[in-house]
């Protein structure tokens, strides 16, 4: 976290702002040949609750590109691999406090190739969810992580453009 003293260009007053520098994030929407989404359930310390989400995480220094990071996180968190990763979009998750971007990928024909390999702090349960049920889960607030909702929105927008 970084504290900065900045001057308002409008009022010329000095004030303290708190920002975080972070490497990019990735989020992956993995879909199997049976049209099931590979999701994860994990405990989140901010909300102090279990959250139904999509795999993803920080792009590490050993990852060459966000694609590489997304592929690695998908494999580590779920044990799934996809022959092709398609970029769905990108955004700044919180421009007011975070410097980083989040990159969204679609991983079609995802196949389980091994067991998940979790970081120390991770406690993740892998769940396959029929794609057809996702909208209903969103309407009932069972999926309520903002970036996960955006991932599905980007996917549906892409589908609509292609149809």
157 is an interface residue for its own copies by CB under 8 A: yes
* Phi–psi pair at 155, nearest 5 degrees: -65, -45
Q: Are 101 and 24 in contact (CB under 8 A)?
A: yes
121 is an interface residue for its own copies by CB under 8 A: yes
92 is an interface residue for its own copies by CB under 8 A: yes
Residues in CB range of 143: below 8 A, 6 or more apart:
52, 53, 134, 137, 149, 152
Using CB under 8 A, which of the segments 29-37, 67-75, 76-84, 144-152 binds its own copies?
144-152
86 is an interface residue for its own copies by CB under 8 A: no
Q: Which is nearer to its own copies, 3 or 62 (CB)?
A: 3
Q: How far is the CB of 109 from its own copies (least distance, A)?
A: 25
117 is an interface residue for its own copies by CB under 8 A: no
Count interface residues toward its own copies (CB under 8 A).
49
List C-alpha distances in Å: 81 to 21, 55, 124, 145.
30, 12, 17, 23
């Amino acid at each position: 976290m970084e504290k900065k003293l900045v001057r308002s260009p409008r009022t010329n007053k000095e004030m303290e702002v708190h920002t975080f520098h972070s490497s990019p994030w990735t989020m992956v929407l993995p879909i199997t040949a049976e049209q099931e989404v590979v999701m994860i359930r994990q405990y989140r310390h901010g909300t102090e609750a279990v959250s139904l989400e999509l795999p993803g995480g920080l792009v590490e220094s050993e990852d060459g590109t966000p694609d590489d990071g997304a592929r690695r996180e998908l494999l580590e968190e779920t044990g799934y691999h996809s022959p092709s990763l398609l970029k769905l979009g990108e955004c700044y998750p919180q421009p007011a406090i975070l410097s980083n971007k989040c990159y969204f990928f679609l991983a079609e024909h995802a196949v389980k190739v091994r067991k998940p390999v979790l970081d120390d702090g991770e406690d993740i349960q892998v769940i396959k969810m029929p794609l057809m049920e996702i909208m209903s889960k969103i309407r009932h607030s069972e999926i309520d992580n903002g970036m996960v909702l955006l991932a599905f929105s980007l996917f549906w927008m892409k589908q609509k453009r292609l149809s």
